[in-house]
Amino acid sequence: MIQADVDLQPYNTLAIAARAAHFAQVENLDQLREALEFARRKKLPILPLGGGSNIVLTGNFPGLVIHLDNPGLEVREQGERTLVTAGAGENWHQLVMATVDRGLGGLENLALIPGRIGAAPIQNIGAYGVELRDSFSSLEALHIATGEMHSFSASDCEFGYRDSVFKGRARDQYIITSVSLELHGEWHPRVDYPALQQYFREQQIDSSGLTPRAVAEAVIAVRNSKLPDPAQIPNAGSFFKNPIIDGDLYRELKKAHPDLVAYEVGERWKLAAGWLIDRAGWRGKRQGAVGVHERQALVLVNPGHGAGAEVTGLAQEIAADIHAKYGVELEPEPRFYP
């Protein structure tokens, strides 16, 4: 089950060539425990891997990569609510479409996000005004240090914007094995996001009688119009989080740049990092093997299959330029390994 010296290029959507000292493909809990025992004996660091769409490999990984490939999809109707439980290895988009096909609403705005279900809670995936936490019920995870299974409720997960307990206090301590989502019979489309409104206008679709499938189709069309398909142009989605700044800096920036794109969050403001990077002149720039996507400046691309250092080098240059021009700190969204 455990292989040595494995090429990780097919396992990360930035298509970075890097090697794993050890690699385990696990399809069930017994195999996961076996893999963890191997890592414990050899004192190896662990990298739990799903679809590899939110990681940057900055070099070879000296430990054990555990590719979560456990399947399983269970749908239970409980009166007004439907509980969907999926193994960590299930594909996220296929799960969304399976629920939409049953006429269930709740996940349609999250269509076409790459990756697997086990990773979805890590950064509380979100798109078009919806986040995983809006339908999240619970998850099961194996505690690496003790081998015990722990159950996490929504509040245990401490979800935030692109954040959860698994990026904070519980970082590197658990492997998520399954996730349960709660979908409701009573459903209201959430289509306030400007790009969705524009799509419905252009297609002359009346947004009052929408079905979950119609919303999913709109999301897919909008995403396809600006986000590169990793199979064609390697990328990891948004490379930076949208920065949240205080009111003083926001007012100063808005005065200098009246068309600044920002959304109010409580007393603070979330800026569109893509707008900042675009206005700073980076959109469509190519630098060696890597570059900035021409239709979405928040997405760094790796068409030349460059090394991780090329990607992180470009990211650092962009972040430094944004800081110099706007006084705003950009924080990468994907996690860097090793």
Q: Tell whether residue 241 is a contact of ligand EPU (CB under 6 A).
A: yes
- Provide the residue type at 198 as one letter: Q
Per-residue interface string for the shown chain with ligand FAD, residues 6-45, x marking contact by CB under 6 A: -------x--------------------------------
Q: Which stretch binds ligand FAD (CB under 6 A): 52-60, 187-195, 262-270, 272-280?
A: 52-60
Contacts of 144 (CB under 8 A, 6+ apart): 36, 46, 172, 173, 174, 175
Q: Which stretch binds ligand EPU (CB under 6 A): 137-145, 234-242, 245-253, 316-324?
A: 234-242
Q: Where do the DSSP E strands lie in the chain?
A: 2-7, 19-26, 46-49, 55-57, 61-68, 73-78, 81-87, 126-127, 130-131, 136-143, 149-153, 174-184, 235-238, 244-245, 262-265, 268-271, 286-287, 290-292, 299-301, 335-337
Residue 322 in contact with residue 280, Cβ under 8 Å?
yes
Binders of ligand EPU: how many residues, by CB under 6 A?
18
Q: Tell whether residue 308 is a contact of ligand FAD (CB under 6 A).
A: no
Residue-by-residue DSSP string for 211-235: -HHHHHHHHHHHHHHHSPPTTTS-E
From the list ligand EPU, ligand FAD, none, pick the one residue 332 interacts with, judged by a Cβ distance below 5 to 8 Å according to partner type.
Answer: none
**Of 14, 26, 127, 216, the one binding ligand EPU by CB under 6 A:** 127
Residue 293 in contact with residue 235, Cβ under 8 Å?
yes
- Structure tokens of 190? 């959430």
Count the helices and strands in the chain (H runs, E runs): 8, 20
From the list ligand FAD, ligand EPU, none, pick the one residue 275 interacts with, judged by a Cβ distance below 5 to 8 Å according to partner type.
Answer: ligand EPU
Residue 283 in contact with residue 294, Cβ under 8 Å?
yes
The span from the CA of 25 to the CA of 100, in Å, is 30
In angstroms, what is the minimal distance from the CB of 19 to ligand EPU?
A: 26
Q: Which stretch binds ligand FAD (CB under 6 A): 187-195, 231-239, 251-259, 320-328?
A: 231-239
153 annotated active-site: no
Residue 249 backbone phi and psi in degrees, to 5: -65, -40
Q: Tell whether residue 283 is a contact of ligand EPU (CB under 6 A).
A: yes
137 annotated active-site: no
**Of 26, 57, 65, 127, the one binding ligand FAD by CB under 6 A:** 127
Q: Tell whether residue 237 is a contact of ligand EPU (CB under 6 A).
A: yes
- Provide the residue type at 196 as one letter: L
In angstroms, what is the minimal distance from the CB of 22 to ligand EPU?
A: 29
Q: Which stretch binds ligand EPU (CB under 6 A): 16-24, 35-43, 175-183, 233-241?
A: 233-241
Q: Tell whether residue 280 is a contact of ligand EPU (CB under 6 A).
A: no
Interface residue list for ligand EPU (CB under 6 A): 127-128, 195, 226, 237-238, 241-242, 261, 272, 274-275, 278, 283, 296-298, 333
List active site positions.
162, 238, 333
